[in-house]
Every structure is written in structure tokens, then in C-alpha cells.
Amino acid sequence: MDKVNVALSMFGMEAVPGKKEDKQMSLLRRDYVYVRDIYAGTLCETDDGYSLTYGQNT
């Protein structure tokens, strides 16, 4: 998660672990986060705000 926070800090953001809910959210936008050409995670904008999923690119 350190690599993700380094990347997000450039935009004044920070990744914070949170609990997952079984609630279905409406996806508005999705973008893939790369740090030095290495996949770091997926940033999604939903009705409830932003979510960042980090780890393996599937």
C-alpha cells in the first residue's frame, strides 16, 4: 500500500483501508493506477465516492 500512497500523494490523496460492504454501487468511472510502469491498483468513482482496489491486476 506504500506505493499506492506515494502515487496518490501527488494528488493530495491517501489510501485508507476500509471495510467492504455487500452494497451494489453504480460505477461512474474507472482508471488504473501505475507507479513507474507497475500496476498499483484500480481507482473507481461510484455514487458513494471513490474506491481504490490495490494488488494483482485481474
For the segment 5-55, what is each residue's pLDDT rounded down to a tens digit? Answer: 788 787 777 776 665 555 566 778 888 888 888 888 888 888 878 888 887
For residue 38, is it within any domain? yes
Looking at residue 6, what is its pLDDT? 82
Range of the domain at 34: 2-15+26-54
Task: Give the model's pLDDT for residue 51.
Answer: 84
pTM over 0.75: no
**45: alpha, beta or left? (left if phi > 0; alpha if psi -120 to 50):** beta
Dist. CA 53–CA 41, nearest whole Å: 5
In a domain, 21, yes or no: no
| Inside any domain, residue 20 | no
- If pLDDT is split at 50, 70 and 90, which confidence band does 57 have? low
Q: How many domains does the chain have?
A: 1
49 within domain boundaries: yes
